[in-house]
DNA sequence: ACCTGAACACCGTTCAAGT
DNA sequence: ACCTGAACACCGTTCAAGT
């Protein structure tokens, strides 16, 4: 029951040293951590940060609540791990998508993030109480801001308007997530915004 | 100790009927309810919805936690009472302020609501779980939307752009509350947005 | 009608004890 | 090194009991 991943013959590989499985332990640690983050992502996304208790996350990951505290200092650290991974995934997919009109790219982002609106709320709420969440949130806006300013410069926005235009766009995108609308409503808003904000 | 508001000579007025103080009871009830809402407003605003427990709100209002449940069905109902009163107060002051340029009025609203950003977060988060909060949130956007479309029409925004422009403005204002900036930064954003969105 | 204290089923987190 | 069960101080809410 204990060490169940390592005690079966199936899982023993050539790198294992008798008694001290050097290369095995770190890998297991990473895998279990990932498992916790996956469970937390699913539950935070579906039920929201508050309703998804550490107990529920733990059981979903097949561990005891206390085990999570071996991998993370507190619940906010789990939240940061969750949103980091979601951002990374979406960012990777976004960068592969590059050459398409700006409005299409923005609508794609809104569409991708739509299901994560509970994570957005959680980050905003927890930022006020957790410095670790607050720092991640600031870093998030810095990363996204840079990317967006580059895209906007290419779209013809003048140098001195780059910062505020980018910020407006980010704020609207974030808000669209927590104020759900139909595809059409979103398109009307994003199209009008870009038409007005991007000089031609 | 019980009925302390009514047992002192100071508080007995002419309308009081022996044994059954007809006019007194409803007034007391309203006053105590107001007291709870005031305490909740202070604590929700300063500490956030989650950190401000029913126990803390009750003690701040000079009652027992259970007493609150005589006046409100649950914590979300307290939240709705709090945000309703805040909105009413700000709306009243706004309507007295009427004749001033649109950008000044918007910056005034952002400034007024700035300190209530924790309430904004709470409403967004609770909307997903409480139909009473969700309904209030929808009503809020309807009320504000109407007011804003009128102001925008006067500012020269064409009929067919009224709805999306109003929505963009509301989303940006709401987001500015949860993403604090300096007065100058806010002014730059609002000025640019209005310059671009309002045809001239 | 209004208010209370005790209780219920939770919560995030800690810690001594196990392997 | 990693994991657990029991415990701690909370939480929102309920309810029998008081006035």
pLDDT digits (tens, 9 = 90+) for A116-169: 999 999 999 999 999 999 999 999 999 999 999 999 999 999 999 999 999 999
Higher confidence at residue A120 or residue B4? A120
Query: Residue B200: its pLDDT value, please?
Result: 52
Q: For chain B, what percent of residues have pLDDT higher than 70?
A: 85
Query: Residue B29: its pLDDT value, please?
Result: 82
Residue B7 has pLDDT above 90, yes or no: no
Give which of A129, A171, A172, A200 to mutate to test B binding, by max B Cβ within 10 Å. A171
Chain B within 8 Å of A196 (Cβ-Cβ)? yes
**Residue of chain A whose alpha carbon sits nearest to that of B127:** A178
The H-or-E segment that residue B134 falls in is helix B131-154
| Predicted confidence (pLDDT) per residue in B125-181, tens digit | 999 999 999 999 999 999 999 999 999 999 999 999 999 999 999 999 999 998 989
The H-or-E segment that residue A75 falls in is helix A75-97
Nucleotides of C under 7 A from a protein CB: 1-6, 10-15, 19
Query: Residue B25: its pLDDT value, please?
Result: 55
User: Which two structure tokens, joined as six digits, stand for B41?
Assistant: 């407003």
Higher confidence at residue B200 or residue B45? B45
User: Which two structure tokens, joined as six digits, stand for B137?
Assistant: 């949130």
The shortest CB-CB distance from A196 to any of B176, B179, B196 is to B196
**Contact yes or no for B176 and A179 at CB 8 A:** no
**Contact yes or no for B189 and A178 at CB 8 A:** no
Tell me how far apart the terminal alpha carbons of chain A are, to the nearest angstrom. 66
Q: How far apart are CA A120 and CA A106, in angstroms?
A: 17
**Residue that is written with structure tokens 């529920």 in the block:** A56
Q: What is the CA radius of gyration of chain A?
A: 21
pLDDT band (50, 70, 90) for residue B199: low
User: Which two structure tokens, joined as six digits, stand for B78?
Assistant: 């307290």
Inter-CA distances, A85 with A2, A95, A145, B152, B198, Å: 29, 15, 19, 41, 40
Chain B within 8 Å of A162 (Cβ-Cβ)? no
Q: For chain B, what percent of residues have pLDDT higher than 90?
A: 76
Is B71 strand, coil or helix?
A: helix
Chain A within 8 Å of B167 (Cβ-Cβ)? yes
pLDDT by residue, tens only, chain A of 200 residues = 222 333 322 233 333 333 334 444 566 888 999 999 999 999 999 999 999 999 999 999 999 999 999 999 999 999 999 999 999 999 999 998 868 888 899 999 999 999 999 999 999 999 999 999 999 999 999 999 999 999 999 999 999 999 999 999 999 999 999 898 999 999 999 999 999 998 65
| Predicted confidence (pLDDT) per residue in B27-57, tens digit | 788 899 999 999 999 999 999 999 999 999 9
Query: Residue B99: its pLDDT value, please?
Result: 80
Question: Dihedrals φ, ψ of A82, to 5°?
Answer: -65, -55
Nucleotides of D under 7 A from a protein CB: 1-6, 10-15, 19
Q: How far apart are CA A102 and CA A96, in angstroms?
A: 14
User: Which residues of A fall within a CB distance of 8 Å from B189?
Assistant: 164, 167-168
Q: How far apart are CA A65 and CA A180, in angstroms?
A: 33
The shortest CB-CB distance from B189 to any of A118, A164, A179 is to A164
Tally of residues, chain B: 200
Chain A within 8 Å of B164 (Cβ-Cβ)? yes
Q: Which residues contact B31 (CB under 8 A, 6 or more apart)?
A: B5
* Average model confidence (pLDDT) across chain B: 86
Decide: A41 and A82 in contact? Cβ < 8 Å: yes
Decide: A131 and A74 in contact? Cβ < 8 Å: no
Chain B within 8 Å of A165 (Cβ-Cβ)? yes
CB of residue A53 closer than 7 A to nucleic acid strand C? yes
């Amino acid at each position: 029951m204990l060490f169940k991943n390592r005690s079966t013959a199936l899982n023993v590989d050539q790198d294992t040293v008798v008694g001290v499985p050097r290369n095995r332990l770190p890998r297991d640690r990473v895998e279990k951590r990932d498992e916790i983050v996956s469970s937390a992502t699913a539950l935070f996304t579906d039920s929201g940060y508050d309703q998804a208790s550490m107990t529920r996350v733990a059981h979903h990951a097949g561990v005891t609540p206390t085990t999570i505290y071996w991998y993370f200092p507190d619940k906010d650290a789990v939240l940061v791990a969750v949103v980091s991974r979601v951002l990374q995934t979406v960012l990777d997919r976004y960068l592969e998508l590059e050459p398409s009109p700006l409005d299409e790219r923005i609508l794609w982002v809104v569409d991708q993030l739509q299901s994560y609106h509970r994570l957005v709320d959680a980050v905003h709420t927890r930022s006020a109480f957790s410095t670790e969440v607050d720092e991640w949130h600031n870093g998030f806006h810095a990363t996204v801001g840079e990317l967006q300013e580059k895209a906007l410069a290419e779209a013809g926005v003048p140098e001195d308007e780059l910062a505020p235009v980018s910020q407006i766009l980010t704020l609207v995108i974030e808000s669209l997530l927590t104020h759900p609308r139909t595809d059409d409503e979103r398109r009307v808003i994003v199209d009008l915004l870009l038409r007005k904000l991007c000089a031609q």
